[in-house]
Amino acid sequence: MILAIDIGNTTVTLGGVQTAAQMYSLEFTARIDINYEWSAGQYETSIRQLLENENLSPSDFRGIIISSVVPPVLTPLQECVRRLFGTEPLLVTSESDLGMTFSIPHPEKVGRDRLVDAAWAAAHYPLPVITVDLGTATTFNVIQENRVFCGGAIAPGLDMGLNALAERTAQLPRLDLQTPERIIGRNTEECILSGTIVGMAAMLDGMVQRIEAELSSPVTLVLTGGAARFVEPLVLHPHIYDPNLLLKGLAFLYERNCGK
């Protein structure tokens, strides 16, 4: 089993991925809230406990791979992996064998999570393909024919929008994410959910339509990320919902870079 670790802006997500005959199955997932003050030892204690909860031990994993968009957390987690698993983790960068090329000027500036999403989509879905990852931010990746990463877009995430409404207004409440039952809200809470969730779905449809026009080609649309489940039922464009795309993508890149 491969341990995939994604260091995001708010959480560290771990997934145990079994790979066999080019099939990738997620055996478990767990999350740790980002803590900038934690040492390698504290992350080690937390991950050890998560593994014990799954009746797993470090010896059950034949490799570790990490993607990170939070440099201050990467260093203690690398040390944690060395201590807990006795191995050096593979780090995803634009120099990794991603199975795709770039037509943008500075691929090294693309978020590591975006690289993983794009690499998996380029290898597993009809091209051209757009991945949309709805997390702390909403990120779009566009991969053209011949597996060429040509760019994308970044927008605020759903939670970011809800937090901003609550923090920057006097009377609007902070709501938890949920799929609204109607578009025309009948009270403040319904109006906020409609504007946030339905508005995001409409934005996705509009962005995809414009990207297709710019490419002069229809695209495959793939939705993923922690908040995608709230938006996905409202997206009108034909799409695939793959909630585990990033973790499977990490395991795929481990095999591609270390499994040869």
- Pick from 130, 16, 114, 19: nearest CA to 68: 114
Q: What is the dihedral of CA 205, 210, 216, 221, to 10 degrees?
A: -30
Q: Give catalytic residues, as residue numbers.
A: 113
Q: Which residues of 132-170 are buried (b: 16+ CB within 10 A; e: fewer)?
A: bbbbbbbbbbbbbeebbbbebeebebbbebbeebeeeee
* Long-range contacts of residues 43-49, Cβ cutoff 8 Å, at least 24 apart: 43/12, 43/76, 43/77, 43/80, 44/80, 44/83, 44/84, 47/14, 47/80, 47/84, 48/84
- Pick from 66, 65, 48: nearest CA to 57: 48
DSSP reduced 3-state for 153: strand
